[in-house]
Amino acid sequence: MKDLSSSALRHSDASPAGQPGKHGVGALPSFTPMRAMCLGEWVELLREKAGGMPGLVGVGEGLAGLVLKPSSLQPYLHFRRGRYTRNLVYRDAQLEVLLNCWDAGAVSPIHDHDGQECWFSVQSGAFLLENYPLESGGLSPGPARLGAPTAVGPVGAGHVDFRCPEAPIHRVTATQGPAVSLHVYAGPVDRCLVFDPRRQRCVSRELRYHSVFGRPLAPLEGTTQPPALF
């Protein structure tokens, strides 16, 4: 995928006047005001930090307690009944930023992050995070044996989780929703390994976006259009 420019990001930071962003089903997300910043401004800071170098030093500290201004998230809020959606905000060779939107009870598969560092920041709702140790295999498709997970949470707005190449495997459950999580990857992630503990195997899965710059790539089944969030 070609690089997505910061000018396009700034253009997508607000819905046209009088037109709310597209949201999903049920109750609307409840955002907790903390240390607020617009999404576009924050991504610009990330781009400066990346600076063409591998890794993103200090991202976790910068995310701690940060809840972005809800109006700047609105174009990317696309929900799907019973599931979660992956909504691209920014991408270049060193950096990928997503907003994931979760219906209450939505669960991710047990997965890794293709060797990339990943930061997970709760923007609204609550999540249970289950982190799995890899006991054998699991570095490529095939046999994979996981240990018992360590549960964290439920955690709410302002919480930051970090997955590194040495401990990349987790499962995420939205225990309270609709919920929104911000994801930062130190390099784009196009595929991941998905784990089946019962069969003790893992498979490679291609990752897809539900929307890019707020524009859905395909109609989302099971969605409704609620009133404007703001």
Is 113 annotated in a binding site? The answer is yes
Q: Is 2 left (phi over 0), alpha (psi -120 to 50) or beta?
A: beta
Q: Any idea what DSSP says for residue 19? A: -
Closest to 218 in 3D by CA, of 80, 95, 45, 111 = 80
User: Is residue 170 a known part of a binding site?
Assistant: yes
Pick the closest to residue 63 from 143, 167, 183 (CA basis).
183
In SS3 terms, 127-158 reads as EEEEECCEEEECCCCEEEEECCCEEEEEECCC
The response to whether 11 counts as a known ligand-binding position is no
Residue 211: phi and psi, rounded to 5, are -150, 155
To the nearest 10°, report the CA torsion of 57, 61, 62, 67.
Answer: 140
Q: Which residues are annotated as a binding site for Fe cation?
A: 111, 113, 170
Q: Which residues are annotated as a binding site?
A: 111, 113, 170
